Amino acid sequence: MTLYAWFYRHVLRDAVYAAVVEGWHAKDGQEFYALIGEREEYRMQWFEYWQREKLDFVLTVPNALPAMRHGDSRRQWKSCGYTFLFNVVSIVPGFGA
């Protein structure tokens, strides 16, 4: 268990996020490019879905969590999941930037 995971599990009492970061490790070139391939396949499936359904846009909520207290954002970056997911799926050939 990494120190980071230990901190989340025992100090911040967040067992779910601690379980997520326990799997973080440096990746070699083959692991890295395999993950890129999975991401690109997911993007292509999303793009094909858009084409099949003839969608012009998808309206989603910007944040599924309640508002944060002032100054608490340094640990709450996890609440940006919708934005991160859209950034993954929106850049495909012929669509987006």
pLDDT for the residue numbered 65: 62
Alpha helices in the chain (DSSP H): 3-6, 15-22, 29-53, 81-89
28: pLDDT strictly greater than 60: yes
Structural domain boundaries of the chain?
27-89
Q: Compute the half-sphere exposure of residue 95: CA atoms within 13 Å on the CB side of its CA.
A: 20
Please state the pTM of the whole predicted model.
0.53
Cα torsion through 7, 27, 45, 48, rounded to 10: 110
Q: Is 94 left (phi over 0), alpha (psi -120 to 50) or beta?
A: left
46-93 confidence digits (pLDDT tens): 889 888 999 887 776 666 666 667 776 666 666 666 566 666 666 655
Q: Region 39-43: what's the mean pLDDT?
A: 88
